[in-house]
Homo-oligomer: A and B are copies of this chain.
Amino acid sequence: MNTEQMYLLLRDSILRNAHFTAGELDLVMSFFKVRATVKNERLLSRNDICKNLYFVCRGYIRIFNELDNGNDITRFVAFENEFGTAMPSFICQAQSAASIDTPEDSYLLHISHSDFHFLLDSLPQWERIYRINLEKAYIASVQRVEMLTMMSAREGYEFLLSHFPQVVQRLSNKNLASYLGIKQETLSRLKSRR
């Protein structure tokens, strides 16, 4: 994937939700930098302050909570054409409870917190883009709470399959099980039943 293709993906994604003049769009693009990562590369560690918002062109980013026993719990994933980062830390510029990595070789565009806020203050349409992506992330988080509190292992798995099939298809069994809040053996049983 070359740089031009990456910026085209970002441009298309943005224009789907808001109107920008050519000059405004060029301004937005000028703040995004390219980052290519290898499988399992770490982008943020727990307790660091998250300085970047990512747009995924290929691969995906995984936001996860590390546990003291060496395991971790997948909290959020963003795939191609999606924005993502450790949002609470990015928003508050406070230490992050979560870490970020790229489970696949990935091509990302990223914008710094200060450039992001410069755009928020300069372009009302950028606020709209952000708001729409926040809505999506918020809904996914609420559904995650419902999955953890109300749904059986099977219901949670079926919900993911129908609403977020990529999560089921692309996450490792270990990461998917932690996302569902179930044991890996339970997940294997659910998968083999289908």
A162 part of interface (Cβ distance < 8 Å): no
Knowing A87-B139, A127-B127, A137-B138 are in contact, say whether A146-B65 is a contact too (CB < 8 A): yes
Q: Is the CB of A97 within 8 A of B65?
A: no
- In angstroms, Cα B156 to Cα A52, docked, is 28
Q: Is the CB of B73 within 8 A of A150?
A: yes
Knowing A65-B150, A67-B150, A150-B73 are in contact, say whether A141-B145 is a contact too (CB < 8 A): yes
Which residues 106-153 of A have a CB within 8 angstroms of B?
124, 127-128, 130-131, 134-135, 137-139, 141-146, 148-150
- In angstroms, Cα B141 to Cα A145, docked, is 8
- In angstroms, Cα B138 to Cα A139, docked, is 9
A75 part of interface (Cβ distance < 8 Å): yes
**Chain A interface bracket (under 10, 10 to 19, 20 to 34, 35 or more):** 20 to 34
Question: Could you tell me the distance in whole angstroms from the C-beta of A63 to the nearest C-beta in chain B?
Answer: 9
- In angstroms, Cα B145 to Cα A145, docked, is 6
Q: Say which residue of B87, B124, B131, B143 sits within 8 Å of A88 (CB atoms).
A: B143
The residue on B at minimum CB distance from A139 is: B88
- In angstroms, Cα B181 to Cα A62, docked, is 25
Question: Could you tell me the distance in whole angstroms from the C-beta of A169 to the nearest C-beta in chain B?
Answer: 22
- In angstroms, Cα B135 to Cα A141, docked, is 12
Knowing A131-B127, A131-B130 are in contact, say whether A146-B97 is a contact too (CB < 8 A): yes
A92 part of interface (Cβ distance < 8 Å): yes
The residue on B at minimum CB distance from A72 is: B150
Q: Is the CB of B181 within 8 A of A148?
A: yes
Question: Could you tell me the distance in whole angstroms from the C-beta of A98 to the nearest C-beta in chain B?
Answer: 8
- In angstroms, Cα B65 to Cα A143, docked, is 11
- In angstroms, Cα B141 to Cα A148, docked, is 12
The 4 A-B residue pairs with the shortest CB-CB distance in the complex, in nearest-first order: A124-B124, A141-B141, A138-B138, A88-B139
